[in-house]
C-alpha cells in the first residue's frame, strides 16, 4: 500500500507512522505564474540552439513526418526511465502510444519536441490540470543523455511557457522528486514557487492464514 501526504500535515504523518508505513521518497510541488513570466530570460537559449540546427516543434506540427510517432515514443520511453520513481514505470508499446494519440488528442496539444538533424532529442509535455481551466500541469520534461547540458531544457521551457501565455493559462504547476536534482534546479531557476513537500509512504501487506 502507498499513500501520499503533505509534509506539514502532522496528524497524517502520525497516522501513517502508527500503522507501520515507512517513508519511501519525497516530491516538491510548485507553481509558476506564467502570465507574468519574462520570456526574454529564456529566449537566448532558443536562438542559440536554432543557430546550430535545432528545431522546436509542437507534436501536431510534425504530423507530416512518418517517423513522428515511433521517434516520439522512443524518446518518451528513454527519458521516462531516467525519472526517479517508487517503482519501474510501465512503458507503453508503440501500439498503445498511437492508440492514445487517437483516443486522447487533447493530451498532445501542448506537447513540444526538440529535434536536431532528424533526431528527436527532447520533449516537454504540458497537460490540462483537472478542472482548473487556466492551469497547465508540467507532466514530463526530458532530454536524451547525449544532448544534455546544451540548454535544450531551457529552450523547451520557453516554448511551453510561451504556449501558456498565448492560450490564457496563467499558471503552470509541477512535481519533481527530491532525487531529481536537474529538474529541481531548473524549476528553481525558472522561478517556480509556492513550494510544498509531499512524502510517499508505503507498507508491505502480508497475507496471514490460508489463502
Query: Could you tell me the residue range of the domain that residue 48 belongs to?
Result: 28-199
What pLDDT score was predicted for residue 210?
A: 47
Whole-angstrom distance, CA of residue 159 vs CA of residue 46:
9
> What is the percent of the chain with per-residue pLDDT over 90, rounded to a whole number?
81
> For residue 66, what is the domain's CATH number?
3.40.630.30
In a domain, 5, yes or no: no
* Whether pLDDT at 139 is above 60: yes
Q: Region 10-24: what's the mean pLDDT? A: 92
In a domain, 123, yes or no: yes
What pLDDT score was predicted for residue 164?
A: 96
Q: Region 126-139: what's the mean pLDDT? A: 84
What pLDDT score was predicted for residue 178?
A: 85
* Whether pLDDT at 58 is above 70: yes
Who wins on pLDDT, 50 or 178?
A: 50
In a domain, 205, yes or no: no
In a domain, 18, yes or no: no
- Stretch (H or E) spanning 197: strand 193-202
In a domain, 86, yes or no: yes
Partners of 119 in the beta sheet?
116
Whole-angstrom distance, CA of residue 102 vs CA of residue 28:
32
**Tally of domains within the chain:** 1
Give the global pTM.
0.87
In a domain, 17, yes or no: no
Amino acid at each position: 500500500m502507498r499513500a501520499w501526504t503533505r509534509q506539514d500535515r502532522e496528524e497524517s504523518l502520525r497516522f501513517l507512522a502508527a500503522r507501520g508505513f515507512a517513508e519511501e521518497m519525497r516530491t516538491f510541488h510548485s507553481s509558476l505564474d506564467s502570465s507574468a513570466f519574462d520570456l526574454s530570460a529564456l529566449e537566448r537559449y532558443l536562438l542559440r540552439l536554432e543557430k546550430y540546427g535545432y528545431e522546436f516543434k509542437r507534436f501536431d506540427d510534425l504530423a507530416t513526418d512518418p517517423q513522428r510517432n515511433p521517434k516520439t515514443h522512443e524518446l518518451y520511453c528513454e527519458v521516462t526511465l531516467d525519472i526517479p520513481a517508487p517503482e519501474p514505470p510501465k512503458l507503453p508499446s508503440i501500439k498503445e502510444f498511437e492508440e492514445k494519440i487517437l483516443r486522447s488528442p487533447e493530451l498532445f496539444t501542448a506537447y513540444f519536441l526538440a529535434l536536431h538533424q532528424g533526431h528527436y532529442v527532447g520533449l516537454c509535455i504540458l497537460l490540462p490540470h483537472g478542472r482548473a481551466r487556466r492551469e497547465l500541469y508540467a507532466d514530463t520534461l526530458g532530454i536524451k543523455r547525449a544532448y544534455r547540458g546544451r540548454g535544450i531544457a531551457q529552450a523547451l521551457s520557453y516554448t511551453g511557457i510561451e504556449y501558456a501565455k498565448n492560450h490564457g493559462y496563467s499558471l503552470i504547476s509541477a512535481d519533481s522528486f527530491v532525487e531529481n536534482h536537474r529538474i529541481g534546479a531548473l524549476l528553481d531557476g525558472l522561478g517556480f514557487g509556492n513550494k510544498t513537500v509531499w512524502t510517499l509512504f508505503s507498507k508491505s501487506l502480508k497475507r496471514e492464514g490460508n489463502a
